[in-house]
Amino acid sequence: RRIQYRAAWEKVLELQEQDAVMEAEVVAVNRGGAICLVEGLRAFLPGSHLAGQLPTDDLVGQTLQLKFLEVNQENNKLVVSNRKAVVEQQMADLSRGDLVTGIVKALKPYGAFVEVGGMSGLLHISQISYDRIEDLEKVLQPGMQVKCMIIDHDKVNGRIALSTKTLEPNSGDMIRDPQMVFDMAEETAAKYHAHMEEERKQREQTARDLVLGLGDSLDGLEGDESS
């Protein structure tokens, strides 16, 4: 049994070294979170590190994806996170310009925090509408489901920057009728991407024309010098 125990810790230390995502079964829940079995060892999963779930009896028997938060063999202590594992996998699949659905979690003077699949996204007040917002609470409320476009992401820390103004068919629609903006989000996002692609092509063409024009000018200079 002692050999098994030592082998289990060796495996855990190896998984930690690899920063691996692992799967483990929940065997118990308590007020602070849940207990999972990792390589036969009991690991504590804090409630705050559950992605989109609460530590209720429904969790017992479920298999969750986990990453280590703390591994201390001396104190026989293992702490794991489900949110970290889920967020890292989701972040790997996300790109700028993606359309996502989330829930408004909190309002601040500078914008709203939106939870997107266990990740925290900031919808800055300047990114909500092309028109100036005087009263944010009249536009968004905690618990409201929203559609946003990802405009930036920090994959290391699992943070995303969001925008709804890129989804407005007309300037100020988020203030007048946010639900209409969300209903038309896919259509507006497609138009936005097409517009951005057209702008990119125009920039490339302008750059090409400049280079070609510069080449002609240099040819002219060389011709002047040789005459």
- Note the pLDDT tens digit of each residue in 134-162: 999 999 999 999 999 999 987 666 678 99
Percent of the chain with pLDDT over 90: 46
Q: 13-17, 122-126, 156-160, 216-220: which range is least confident on average?
A: 216-220
Going 61 to 66 to 69 to 75, the CA torsion angle's sign is positive
pTM for this entry = 0.59
pLDDT for 220 beyond 90:
no
Model confidence over 171-218: pLDDT tens digits? 999 999 999 999 999 999 898 888 888 888 999 988 888 888 766 665
d(C-alpha 182, C-alpha 147), whole Å: 6
- Please list, residue by residue across 30-48, b when 16 or more beta carbons sit within 10 angstroms of its beta carbon and e when fewer do: eeebbbbebbebebbbbee
Mean pLDDT, rounded, for 65-83: 90
d(C-alpha 67, C-alpha 21), whole Å: 5
